[in-house]
Structure 1
Amino acid sequence: MLLAIDIGNSNVVCGLSENNHWTEQFRIHTVANKTADEYEVIYRTLLSSRNVDLNQIDRIVVSSVVPSLISPIQEMIKKLFGQEALILGPEMYPHLDIGIQNPYEIGTDLVANAVAAYSKYQGNCIVVDFGTALTFTAIKADGNLLGVSIAPGLKTAMSSLSQKTAKLPNVDIAVPPSCIGKNTTHALQAGIVMGYKGLVQYLLEEICKELDGKTTIIATGGLSQVMSSIIDKFDHHEPMLTLDGLKIIGNKFHK
């Protein structure tokens, strides 16, 4: 059984895969100053509540964009599972099926996304990840990861606006009934959600021109369900794409 752990800026998302199928998934809030002992309690409790036998987990692969959490997560894994985790990083990239031009500048979550997208669809791919940051990862048909476009994520934009203004609240990210808000909540949702719809569509059009040829566009990330419902450019909605990439990498390096 494989345990994949994706440590993001907002959430730590985990998946258990058996016989190449996801059997469990759970997420917890990312807390950068938590200790290995605290994470051990959390993971032991979560896995026990799902009747998971810890001894059945023989592969663990981790991606982290929060450097301060790599060490406590590694320590937790060693104590709880009695094994070393495979930590995705630049030293592994030459052994993957995709080419990465700037290995020390790209997030490991984006590498996992690219591995999964290229493995599933081959050809030109664009992965749009709706997370704390909104990212567009472009992969050519020859397997080369060309680069990434990054913008603030929708929740990040909403939080920034509410924090920097005296009278604007932090509201849920949801599709408003109109692009003209009749109240504060709908006005914020119109500006953020519908505004980001335009941003996403425009960037996808421009990136597709540079890829030159048929391109598969995949949506993933926490808010992908909301945005894929109003954007018709996505060929696939893959909420587990990052974990899928980690699973592919974990299986590849498992001895």
Structure 2
Amino acid sequence: MTLTLDIGNSDVVFGLYDNDTWRHIWRTPSSPMQPAAFYQRKLRLWLLEANLTLSQITQATISSVVPALTANVREAVGDLFGIEPVVVSPSVYDQLPVTVLRPQEIGTDLVANAVAAHTRYERPCIIVDFGTALTFTTVGADGKILGVAIAPGLKTAIRSLFANTAQLPEVPIELPTSALGQNTVHAIQAGVVMGYEGLVRSLINRIRREVGGECLAVATGGLSKAIPSLHDEFVEVIPSLTLDGIRLIGDYARR
């Protein structure tokens, strides 16, 4: 079995892949203060609950956008399973089917999204990732990453509003029935959630015009299903797409 880890700004996601399917996906909040032993305990407990043994994990790949967490998670995986995980970084990009724009700057999660989408479609594609940040990664038919657009994520926007405004509450991410909010919660949902619907549609259309041709759009990320009215923009909504890309990068790096 392959263990795939996506260390993000909000959560560390652990995926267990076997026989062409994700057998289990677990997550825990990202905390650079936690030692390697914390993640080892988490993994032991999850595997025990899944009736799996340590020896069944034969390889691992890690992607991280939180450098302070990378070493502890890598140590946890290496010591627990007795394997050396592949860590996604510019050192492996030459082995991938995509050409990476500014390797030292682009997030490894965005590279993983590009690899997964290019492998799946082999056509020009925009990957919209609804995470802590809302990202748009565009990859050409030849696998070249053409560019990236980044905006604050839905949760980030709402939390920022809540944290910096004394009388506004934190609200659930739900699409309201009207843009005319009749109370504070619905007003924030109308402004942020409906506003993001317009943002996503506008950027997808702008990117399509700039690349000058047909360009598929696919959604991923933990909040990729939060705005159902957007789903007509996407050929697919695949919450596990980033994990798919990380796993594929590990496979390329081990060849």
TM > 0.5 fold call? yes
Mapped to 2, the partners of 1:241 and 1:56 lie a distance apart of: 23
TM-score by length of 2: 0.97
For 2:199, give the aligned amino acid. Answer: L
- The equivalent residue for 1:79 is 79
Residue aligning to 2:207:
207
Percent of aligned pairs with the same amino acid: 48
Q: Write the letter of the residue equivalent to 1:86.
A: V
CA shift, 1:106, in A, is: 0.4
* Distance (Å, rounded) in 1 between the aligned partners of 2:13 and 2:249: 16
Equivalence map 1:184-199=2 (5 Å): 184-199=184-199
RMSD of aligned residue pairs (Cα, Å)? 1.1
Partner of 2:216: 216
More deviation in 123-132 or 205-214?
205-214
Paired residues of 2:4 and 2:247 also in contact (CA < 8 A): yes
Which residue is 1:101 aligned to? 101
Where does residue 56 of structure 2 map in the other structure? 56
Q: 1:20 Cα deviation (Å)?
A: 2.2
Cα pair 1:112 1:243 within 8 Å, conserved: yes
Deviation string 1:52-104 (CA, Å, 9 cap, x unpaired) is 21101111000000000011011111221111110000111111000012000
Match of 1:66 in 2: 66
Q: Residues 98 and 143 of structure 2 are in contact (CA less than 8 Å); yes or no, is this contact kept in structure 1?
A: yes
For the 8 Å contact 2:92–2:253, the answer to whether it is kept is no
Q: How many residues align?
A: 255
Q: If the length of structure 1 is used for normalisation, what is the TM-score? A: 0.97
Extract structure 1 runs of 4+ deviating beyond 3 A. Answer: 228-231
Kept after mapping to 2: 8 A contact 1:135/1:149: yes
Q: Partners of 2:168 and 2:105 in 1: how far apart?
A: 35
The DSSP-based 3-state class of the residue aligned with 2:234 is coil
- The one-letter code matched in structure 2 to 1:21 is T
CA distance in 2 between counterparts of 1:51 and 1:247 reads 23
Q: CA deviation at 1:228?
A: 4.1
Please report how far the alpha carbon of residue 230 of structure 1 lies from its aligned counterpart in structure 2 after TM superposition. 3.5
- Residue 227 of structure 1, CA deviation: 2.1
Question: SS at the partner of 2:62?
Answer: strand
CA separation in 2, counterparts of 1:53 and 1:43? 11
Give per-residue Cα distances to partners, 1:13-35, cap 9 Å, x unaligned.
11111122211111111112110
CA contact (8 A) 2:231 2:237 kept: no
User: Is the deviation greater in 244-253 or in 177-186?
Assistant: 244-253
Secondary structure of 2:233's counterpart equals coil
Q: Is the 8 A contact 1:201 1:231 kept in 2?
A: no
